[in-house]
Chains A and B, each alone.
Chain A
């Protein structure tokens, strides 16, 4: 079934101050939030593929469309906005090289801010009142959270590949914002991804129509099963638990 996409045309809101150049990053993670949200943003904004990130450990999968080959990690562009999407889970070992590639790309392309999209497990979450929290690696980008009414992620612990990625980004010269949307850790959660899309829409000052996405929520939950399972296999929260308890100072 091919759906009409005319309704997805982004409408420009009133022009305000010039936006910084941004690179959004979405990889399979909790609830598949990052990849669900960013794939839809790429689709809605009609972003173009400009590059791929290649790695020998990623080469066991390739996608073919209209006779052309596409790797699993691709970079898209539209005006000052870039998006990196990975269609395969990134494990903790690969996460280091993956993040370095993103930082290198950001430096070469004069990216002002990297925005990493993820989810955070919230048991008994209220679907009517889901929240997206923000974390920054540099206080220079604190104002992006403030201007877009994104509450700050104040305390907690991040484990697994996300922790490796954040450690690298924290030490990079490119400021990073991490968006964590409350979600179900174990199942694809497109309803939570809607909140991430809305947050991206506010940050980009562009109205992204989510009507089509909402219509496909059940379909995405069905289609996302295998990727979710693959993601949990490498994410393995049980193994990601620290071997020693956190020092009292962090409790």
Chain B
């Protein structure tokens, strides 16, 4: 089938699959970052992808059962959907904490726009004797 050339020639359209298909919270104007949990031998690692964010703009809060990451964008991110423009200034991610972690020893690192939160597993407990 022959079609007209260059239908998506503008740079902003070159990635047409990414248009208007976001999972963000339009009511609270918060972007939902991608996140991934990995279980290692002695810890859990939560990685959160935070492009367009500075280390100083990240806030991590621990509640009884959740870890909340809020991050301020360096620039306002505008999304036009159904002729309505929405401005986003923050990322927000609320994640359920894994069980059996040592909350006092949770640490975090931010590198190349990826926030890594390390949650060590509780290593103390009842000794089991080998018979």
- Closest chain-A Cβ to B34's Cβ sits at a distance in Å of 5
A72 within 8 A of B: yes
CB contacts (< 8 Å) of B14 on chain A: these are: 39-40, 42-43
Residue contact B15 to A46, C-beta cutoff 8 Å: no
Interface centre among B2, B34, B114 (most CB of A within 10 A): B34
A residues 48-69 with Cβ under 8 Å of B? 48-52, 63, 65-66, 68
Main secondary structure of the interface of B (DSSP, over half): loop
Residue contact B112 to A225, C-beta cutoff 8 Å: no
- What total of A-B pairs shows CB separation below 8 Å? 106
Residue contact A5 to B15, C-beta cutoff 8 Å: no
Residue contact A226 to B23, C-beta cutoff 8 Å: yes
Q: 18 new A-B pairs (CB below 8 Å) besides A191-B112, A217-B51, A226-B21?
A: A28-B17, A35-B15, A36-B15, A40-B14, A42-B14, A46-B6, A46-B9, A51-B1, A52-B3, A63-B19, A65-B7, A70-B16, A188-B49, A212-B11, A221-B49, A222-B51, A223-B15, A226-B18
Task: Give me the interface of B with A, judged by CB distance under 8 Å.
Answer: 1-19, 21-23, 31-34, 36, 47, 49, 51-52, 77, 112-114
Given A43-B11, A88-B17, the answer on whether A48 and B52 have CB atoms closer than 8 Å is no
**A52 CA to B7 CA, complexed, in Å:** 13
CB-nearest residue of chain A to B36: A186
**A127 CA to B113 CA, complexed, in Å:** 12
A244 within 8 A of B: no
Would you list 16 pairs from A and B whose C-beta atoms are within 8 A, ordered by A residue?
A2-B10, A36-B15, A39-B14, A43-B9, A49-B4, A63-B16, A63-B17, A68-B3, A68-B4, A216-B11, A218-B52, A222-B77, A223-B15, A223-B18, A226-B21, A229-B23
CB contacts (< 8 Å) of B11 on chain A: these are: 2-3, 5, 8, 43, 212, 216
